[in-house]
A = this chain, B = another copy of it.
Amino acid sequence: MVPHLITALTGPINELEARILESMPAIERWFRLEWMEHTPPFYCAVDLRNAGYKLAPVDTELYPSAFNNLTPEMLPLAVQAAMAAVEKICPEAKNLLLVPGPELANPFYLTHLQRLVEVFTLAGLNVRLGTLARDAKGPRKLALPDGGSLTIEPLQRGKRRLGLKDFDPCTILLNNELREGVPGLLEDLHEQYLLPPLHASTSSRRKSRHFQSYEEVAKRFAKLLGMDPWLIHPMYGQCGKVDFGTAEGLECVKSNVDALLTKIRRKHKEYGIADKAFVVVKSDAMGGPDVLTVRDAKDLDDPQRRARMSRGADPVREVIVQEGVPTYERINDAVAEPVVYMIDRYVIGGFYRVHAARGTDESLDAPGSAYVPLAFAESTQLPRRGAKPGASAPNRFYMYGVIGRLAMLGASYELEATDPEAEVYA
């Protein structure tokens, strides 16, 4: 299934696509050299928004949770990438301990886990699942939608190592974002590889820190290609604590919104873009609640609008104000955004996230979204050079793979900058 792209066949994105295609050897070489200096996250999923006039990552997840949306055709690429990753991290590994998130009642998440187990088993590891649930007593069978099952076991923490009963892993792979903070039994594991590292957990990351790193990456990449980094980077500003109930601290948000809207309008004028500028106000903490679409700073004076940001326990939060990037891709009239999946430094596949009830300027990562797997696997790596930019789906997907990898590299910079161990040598 090839999505219907309503993005115009002329304009900035097509220039960007043409530039990316003609620079492919330079781009791949640049990535190779970057990955010599910077360690890629073990796995990563990047949400992109294609506005036609710009293409930007809006979310870089370090605990991807939708391997179930990849097609079976993508699995060999995933297995090969997993082999490369394992070889680099722990070539003598026999055992991999996978620690899932709490969504074990969700059949999609269970199928996702099944795929992950499959990938790492086929990469040559004994894979077993361990739960962080404190009340886990013994092994528990999880029934899978396809009739199969997975077994999840209580974790056993020794003085220096973490494992399961009769199972001592070389690597512990977290598929749990640790939203509630880092449990003690994951701390001080210096003999085993714990991936992603604890400071990558959702409770530790800040969106502003990620986009600061991504901006650095985008600027370097734009310099390599001799282009405006804005074409691949969403501008942003940040504020300290804001109380969305009492409106305390809201002035900072409003002035950031104003300043950002002005900057966006200037860019729109420069590129002759007719779209009305908007920004999104998000919680700076990862895994925060909803995202607020704002077209005017005055919108924030409305307590009902603000209420969307004060849902949950705490109406006080730090926020990031980010340039709104609409997504103009559609599948059967529903708004769609591409999601790129990576293991180690390799693009292994992707899919479209589709939401029929949402607008082009809203987040699609919300209840009611659907997923359209794409034969990304073939496409990202096989652009047809010489094909007219924009005319060929495969070319578009190569570009998605490049921007996905830029966001992943941003995450790599981010994790280096936030690594608490790194301070020791600073």
Partner of A73, one of B75, B92, B378, B383: B378
Residue in B31, B84, B382 whose beta carbon sits within 8 Å of that of A84 in the complex: B84
Partner of A83, one of B91, B125, B346, B378: B346
Contacts of A26 in B (CB 8 A): 94
Contacts A24-B121, A122-B382 given; indicate if A32 touches B91 (C-beta within 8 A): yes
What separation, in Å, do the CA atoms of A171 and B282 have in the docked complex? 48
Does B24 contact A385, Cβ atoms closer than 8 Å?
Answer: no
A271 at the interface (CB under 8 A from B): no
The answer on a CB contact under 8 Å between A93 and B124 is: no
Mark interface residues in A381-417 (1 if CB within 8 Å of B CB, else 0).
1110100000000000000000000000000000000
Contacts of A27 in B (CB 8 A): 124
Within 8 A of B (CB), among A43-87: 72-73, 75-77, 79-81, 83-84, 86-87
CB neighbours of A377 from chain B (8 A): 76
Residue of B72, B94, B385 near A121 (CB, 8 A) is: B385
A25 within 8 A of B: yes
Q: Give the one of A29, A84, A380, A382 with max B CB within 10 A.
A: A29
Q: In the complex, are the beta carbons of A72 and B346 less than 8 A apart?
A: no
Main secondary structure of the interface of A (DSSP, over half): helix
Interface residue? A126 (CB, 8 A): yes
Known A29-B92, A32-B87, A122-B383: A81·B80 in contact at CB below 8 Å: yes
A123 on interface, CB distance cutoff 8 Å = yes
In whole angstroms, what is the CA distance A73 to B72 when docked? 12
In contact, A33 and B91 (Cβ under 8 angstroms): yes
Residues of B within 8 A of A76 (CB): 77, 377-378, 380-382
Q: Could you tell me the distance between the alpha carbons of A381 and B134 in the complex, rounded to whole angstroms?
A: 37
Q: Of all chain B residues, which has the CB nearest A78?
A: B381
- Chain B proximity of A116: nearest CB distance (Å): 14
Question: Known interface pairs A80-B80, A84-B84, A91-B36. Does A75 touch B28 (Cβ–Cβ under 8 Å)?
Answer: no
Q: Return A77 CB to nearest CB of chain B, in Å.
A: 6
Instruction: Give residues of chain A (1-59) contacting chain B, Cβ–Cβ below 8 Å.
Output: 24-29, 31-33, 35-36
Q: How far is the CA of A356 from the CA of B317 in the complex (A)?
A: 74
Give the complex CA separation of A94 and B126 in angstroms. Answer: 39
